Structure 1
């Protein structure tokens, strides 16, 4: 899909959402946001980046590659920034793998490490979504549908790249599916996913502190909102995230304006916390 089209889709979705909502309520939520809750969201998103960088380093080590903590954090910040500003949501990760592969004699393990550590993270988010929602709910149905779609895409990719399947399966067994390694991977990934969910919850509290009284109603919806950001048709999930929040908040008989405003601030804080990646570009002249 052309990059310009993804920008247009994000703008179109956001425009449609704003047009459908109560503009006054939405504007009030945005204007009256509590800064302290947004700072907390930024801190949690920073923690998530650091945990993810550690996870990447751990995955690389399982595949026999050395990766220092400084390098892992630096490259992860750069990747997150690229994912935030360019369409698709994976270009930063591909760039991170490519930069790491330049330091190795074989390139494929670097790409395997990035794919596996991202897969570990998505498994954790899926688990959170499934665990937090009651059986038979709309949210659970959506989560299972997305999981089936992801599985079908993986099977399709494997069928198209049969020559590489054995090599990738071996990497998966070593760096993810080995029981002791899987325990470490899921622990790190669940901590990162919980940090993201908590950051979104802080954004909800920032726009409506009274939402604490209905915490049990909207907290389980957050993993699903975040999961929609993986669909690579927009820029950094903009539009999809807000649309999912509007729909799920309305389904839970909550204010759609609250969900959209919280989703907006989550996206904004995610972008701001990725800005240290600019330092990497400035100091190293990294191509984006």
Structure 2
């Protein structure tokens, strides 16, 4: 499939998944979840997002340093907020990450390394998520062996998509060697744990907001499965696989399918609001970065980079 076609397959797949959920479960879960989200849930979500965004920015900075493209921590936090907002508002759910890769690459006069730093940061984060999810399923196994198999299959498919069947194996091998430092990997894993914990906590807030209760020993593995599937880049601004995974995972854990959908919708609303600082930072970042190109040029670069990265997250 041509890269241009692939860019439209991802959001189209997310839209189809949402349409299928609406046909099966109706719109009540969507409406009820949006009404249930209150100011307390939004404030807690925003506070958690500050922590997870900072942790994600630190992870990116560690990876970038290993690839010899320095990145200041304040700039990384600002870029991550911008990227999160773009990810939850633009089709495909990945253009924000590509945008920060393009901006960083151009600011250090090395677009390739800038893009690869983001790609590896996202890859290592997903690997950590897979390891923790599989471990949680082995220990608690609340949704059965099928979930474990699905997680492993998801990892394989995600890795293939992320690497885009790359033809630059020598570059990848060099990056792997650069990233193989135990100290760097330890930092990346710790940052990933903080990000995971924050996302699980946000899902817990969403669940409590819509009235879904279950023991932590069951909820945590279910939440991790939802987060893992949500990383699949076949979504419409983040929507689609996440909701389908919540319907299945929460249902397998004993809740109603509609409750799982409501949790995912509430989570989506909370996450969207928590990314709103990125709106202001979009314009601030454009005005204060003398080495960056115009918005139109960046957009064109992001699209070309999207094609080269194969749509990976």
Asked if Structure 1 and Structure 2 have the same fold, meaning a TM-score greater than 0.5 normalized by the shorter chain, the answer is yes
- With the length of structure 2 as denominator, give the TM-score of the two structures: 0.80
Deviations 1:253-281 (A, max 9, x none): 21222211111111112221222221133
**Equivalent position of 2:150 in the other structure:** 142
Q: Does 1:187 align with 2:190?
A: yes
* Alignment coverage as a number of residue pairs: 281
Cα separation, 1, equivalents of 2:231 and 2:103: 23
Deviations 1:189-233 (A, max 9, x none): 12111211111111111111x60x433333211111122222222
Q: Does 1:45 align with 2:49?
A: yes
Deviations 1:3-60 (A, max 9, x none): 6665554344323323323766775555344542343233222311111111111221
- Structure 1: give runs of 5+ residues left out of the alignment: none
Q: Does 1:215 align with 2:216?
A: yes
Deviations 1:129-177 (A, max 9, x none): 101113662211110111122344467624xx1xx322222222223x2
Q: Does 1:130 align with 2:134?
A: yes
Contact 2:29 2:261 in 1 (8 A): no
- Change in Cα spacing, 1:185 to 1:8, as seen in structure 2 (3 Å) is closer
Cα separation, 2, equivalents of 1:166 and 1:235: 33
Cα separation, 1, equivalents of 2:242 and 2:225: 9
Between 146-155 and 70-79, report the one with greater CA deviation. 146-155
**Equivalent position of 2:18 in the other structure:** 14
Counterpart among 172, 197, 203 of residue 200 in structure 2: 197
Counterpart among 152, 156, 175 of residue 171 in structure 1: 175
Counterpart among 77, 80, 94 of residue 90 in structure 1: 94
Deviations 1:72-103 (A, max 9, x none): 11111111122111122222112111111112
The alignment's C-alpha RMSD in Å is 2.5
- Change in Cα spacing, 1:45 to 1:33, as seen in structure 2 (3 Å) is same
Contact 2:206 2:266 in 1 (8 A): yes
Contact 1:35 1:206 in 2 (8 A): no
Cα separation, 1, equivalents of 2:102 and 2:164: 23
- Structure 2: give runs of 5+ residues left out of the alignment: 288-293, 300-313
**Equivalent position of 1:239 in the other structure:** 240
**Equivalent position of 2:278 in the other structure:** 277
Shift of 1:108: 2.1
Q: Helix, strand or coil: the match of 1:64? A: coil
Q: Helix, strand or coil: the match of 2:280? A: helix
Q: Does 1:249 align with 2:253?
A: no
Contact 1:41 1:203 in 2 (8 A): no
Q: Helix, strand or coil: the match of 1:235? A: coil
**Equivalent position of 2:84 in the other structure:** 80
Contact 2:45 2:274 in 1 (8 A): no
